[in-house]
Structure 1
Amino acid sequence: MNIGITVYPTYGGSGIVGSELGRELAERGHNVHFISSMLPTRLVELNDRVHFHEVEMMTYPLFEHQPYDLALATKMATVARAEKLDLLHVHYAIPHSISAILARESIKQKRFVPVITTLHGTDITLVGADRSYLPITRYGLQQSDGVTAVSKFLKQATIETFDFDEIEVIPNFICPQHYQKIENSPLRRELAPNGEKILVHVSNFRPVKRPLDCIEILAKVKAKGGNAKLIMVGDGPERAACSYRAEQLNVKENVVFVGKRANIADYLGAADIFLLPSELESFGLAALEAAACEVPVIATRIGGIPEVVTDGETGFLSDIGDTEKMSDDVMKLLNDEEMRLAFGAKSRELAVSRYDSKIIIPHYIKFYEQILSQSEQKQNA
């Protein structure tokens, strides 16, 4: 198949999943064409089967804001015709599904290209649910030829918000060979030269991720006698506030901010415990990546996280903002090495048995074939 994929090329779950999906599809013999404003995150290599088409923006005095959605639609239509695409697969509903639908309609007399929209979370729970965007988001869902969601939670949230239930649940995935525990990690020795246990948080440091809670958890762990360092991977609007809060709580020397990193697996492979205190997660991709590296997860009991983290078996779940319980849970794992290792082993087992790319990618391919078959039947009717 010739597949067009559009993602936000920034540091976030939808961009990561879209990039990894394209790479996995190419490895299985499909041709993948990424259509975006810049090279998507984690897309580090282009080859005969992985192509990139940059969306060019027009600068014109009349436009206070550059019309990216229209530029994207134009590029999608151009690539679809030139490369004879079989389908367009867009990640994140707004504006990608609308742009893809516009592209499909603009060229349908020459070539019909079905549109598949994958919902990742905030495109539905925050952006799409806003009253000003709700009608156009519902239209995007209804006019897509196929819709998928990354968790059962997100499917249910979409049904409740948009009264739309024609949704296939295809969860996020990991490559077990890429995400695994690293024995005698040199990075671990660098980050914790004095033998401290390593707590890791990975996010885009937006308020919804509650990175400040990680600082609070560390401070409480230190007060309870825990010998730990907190490694904060990523960057975003809450970064400075986290640094200031660490200084206020006298744990600045125990917090390391490493910024955005491509080698996330190296940090997870060297970690002892992963912190994910978010107030909203439709799936929790970072938690899955940590689990695959045999790292127990301390997280909030919200959204799709319970589908990834089994409370009391692969990690511990708490209410939003309950940093006291989260710090207690960290201490349980720090004080009981046997429990921590058992949780880690079970995490890896469940991550691989449920979310291995060898299981999930064929699910996507089967869905593609189903949509293409349905579209062909409609065209011939």
Structure 2
Amino acid sequence: MSVDRVGGMGGVERMSIEMGRRLSARGHRVDLVYREAVWPVAEFAASMTHSNDLDGRLEHPLRAVRGMAPAVLAGVRHAPDVVYVNRFEDLSFALPLHMLTGVPIVCHWHYFSGHTRIELKSRGVKAFISVSQATADEWVAKGNVDPRRIEVIPNGINTRDFPVTDGPARTTARERLGIRPDAFIVNYCGRVSTEKGVDVLVDAWERLALPPETHRLMIVGVSQEWDEATTAYQNALIARNVPGIDWLPTRADVLTPLQAADLAVLPSRHESFGLAIVEALSTGLPVIATRTDGLPETVRDQGVLVEPDSPEELAAAIKRQLTMDANAEAARHRHLFVNQAYSIERMTDAVEDVLYRSARRGRKR
């Protein structure tokens, strides 16, 4: 199994690690290849191999062997039944291993990477998994992928980890974060980057001009460890000093900010699934998301959808929410929806089935 970052804020990293943990708990041996370790959350792995070269040199996989040598040699030594990669770019590790040993590959798409005409770049891939039909359709249209090779499996969460927020939990969360009990809190949780549309959210908040004493926008995901362009984008937004915005660093605990909030917003320009929105819905929060890529498919009728790149429409949607009273029954309904539609057990069952069908030895009897 390969992941880019062990730990970290992103939904891709957290989802990949959680799936590894789940597969291990079901008795599978999981050997992990990773590029970067942020937090030590891969205790499930039977072995861990670091590689600096999960960099997507797919056109010439043999040239990648030198940089990928530790990971490829570890793969040869462990003799896996299947290689499970969580980024299309990680085929730069999986393809040399397939060419040396014949081991089949399963590639999990968490987003469309922009690669086109991928036939030669995906030799050895028995199956692709896509987090949404929208993402699968994009790979078919732009990547020229045979749709019969794709399984659509939505991401899942353990709803016990994201219970409906009650009064005491809300009070405790606000005390931990230093938030006054009577303030209205809008939450964004994720990477502060242009594709996430955080600038649109900041513009919308500035348009609202709400009193900062009683209305706060909490942006969780500030980090200086992103690439240079993303870090510059983030720092420029912070430097605007828009009143009423709290910029919080990336954190492993994403539940506490959700429990402290009254509304969750995901203003993405591009979003294949929207794990942050599912987690917010599970805690009972009303949500606003953008009508882009896989988000309408994920949110369905459980939240408000606005056009991406429209601070006017986003501001209007937030303003409408300010006048709506909290509804305990609606909160429980959102949690039930997530439990039925996005169960981590259902996702694990589906991923495990694809891995079994693709593996050299098939399903154990």
Cα deviation for residue 5 of structure 1 reads 3.2
Aligned with 1:279: secondary structure? coil
Q: TM-score, normalised by structure 2?
A: 0.84
Residue 187, structure 1, aligned to residue 173, structure 2: yes
Question: 2:94 — aligned with what?
Answer: 100
Question: 1:241 — aligned with what?
Answer: 236
Distance 1:240 1:302 in 2: 26
Q: Note the alpha carbon deviations across 1:73-130, whole angstroms, 9 max, x for none.
A: 4333322232232211001112x11320111112x2xxx421111111142xxx32xx
Question: 1:321 — aligned with what?
Answer: 309
Question: 1:64 — aligned with what?
Answer: none
Of 97, 100, 107, the residue aligned with 1:117 is: 107
Conservation of the 8 A alpha-carbon contact between 1:117 and 1:144? yes
Q: Which runs of 5+ in 2 are unaligned?
A: 54-61, 223-229
Cα separation, partners in 2 of 1:279 and 1:56, compared to 1, 3 Å = closer
Cα separation, partners in 2 of 1:20 and 1:376, compared to 1, 3 Å = closer
Cα separation, partners in 2 of 1:303 and 1:224, compared to 1, 3 Å = farther
Residue 84, structure 1, aligned to residue 79, structure 2: yes
Cα deviation for residue 167 of structure 1 reads 0.6
Cα separation, partners in 2 of 1:122 and 1:224, compared to 1, 3 Å = farther
Q: How many residues align?
A: 339
Of 177, 182, 190, the residue aligned with 2:160 is: 177
Cα deviation for residue 272 of structure 1 reads 1.4
Question: 2:225 — aligned with what?
Answer: none
Distance 1:224 1:321 in 2: 24
Cα separation, partners in 2 of 1:5 and 1:222, compared to 1, 3 Å = same
Of 300, 310, 314, the residue aligned with 1:310 is: 300
Cα deviation for residue 172 of structure 1 reads 1.0
Residue 36, structure 1, aligned to residue 34, structure 2: yes
Cα deviation for residue 72 of structure 1 reads 6.2
Cα separation, partners in 2 of 1:346 and 1:227, compared to 1, 3 Å = farther
Cα deviation for residue 280 of structure 1 reads 0.6
Cα separation, partners in 2 of 1:25 and 1:262, compared to 1, 3 Å = same
Taking every aligned residue pair, what percent have the same amino acid on both sides?
20
Conservation of the 8 A alpha-carbon contact between 1:170 and 1:364? yes
Amino acid corresponding to residue 163 of structure 2 in structure 1: Q
Of 1, 5, 19, the residue aligned with 2:2 is: 5
Structure 1 segment 216-365 matched on structure 2, within 5 A = 216-223=203-210, 227-235=214-222, 236-237=230-231, 238-245=233-240, 247=241, 249=242, 251=243, 254-311=244-301, 314-338=302-326, 341-365=328-352
Cα separation, partners in 2 of 1:8 and 1:140, compared to 1, 3 Å = farther
Cα deviation for residue 284 of structure 1 reads 1.0
Cα deviation for residue 338 of structure 1 reads 4.4
Conservation of the 8 A alpha-carbon contact between 1:180 and 1:265? no
Question: 1:61 — aligned with what?
Answer: none
Residue 156, structure 1, aligned to residue 156, structure 2: no
Cα separation, partners in 2 of 1:20 and 1:72, compared to 1, 3 Å = farther
Distance 2:330 2:21 in 1: 30
Residue 146, structure 1, aligned to residue 127, structure 2: yes
Distance 1:51 1:356 in 2: 28
Q: Note the alpha carbon deviations across 1:24-47, whole angstroms, 9 max, x for none.
A: 1122222211101233x5652525
Cα separation, partners in 2 of 1:147 and 1:45, compared to 1, 3 Å = closer
Structure 1 segment 45-60 matched on structure 2, within 5 A = 45-47=42-44, 50-55=46-51
Cα separation, partners in 2 of 1:226 and 1:301, compared to 1, 3 Å = farther
Cα separation, partners in 2 of 1:52 and 1:43, compared to 1, 3 Å = same
Residue 75, structure 1, aligned to residue 73, structure 2: no
Amino acid corresponding to residue 289 of structure 1 in structure 2: E
Question: 1:63 — aligned with what?
Answer: none
Cα separation, partners in 2 of 1:196 and 1:338, compared to 1, 3 Å = closer
Q: Which runs of 5+ in 1 are unaligned?
A: 58-66, 129-133
Distance 1:330 1:346 in 2: 21
Larger RCO (CA under 8 A, 6+ residues apart): 2
Conservation of the 8 A alpha-carbon contact between 1:35 and 1:75? no
Distance 2:137 2:9 in 1: 26
Distance 2:135 2:286 in 1: 24
Distance 1:83 1:191 in 2: 49
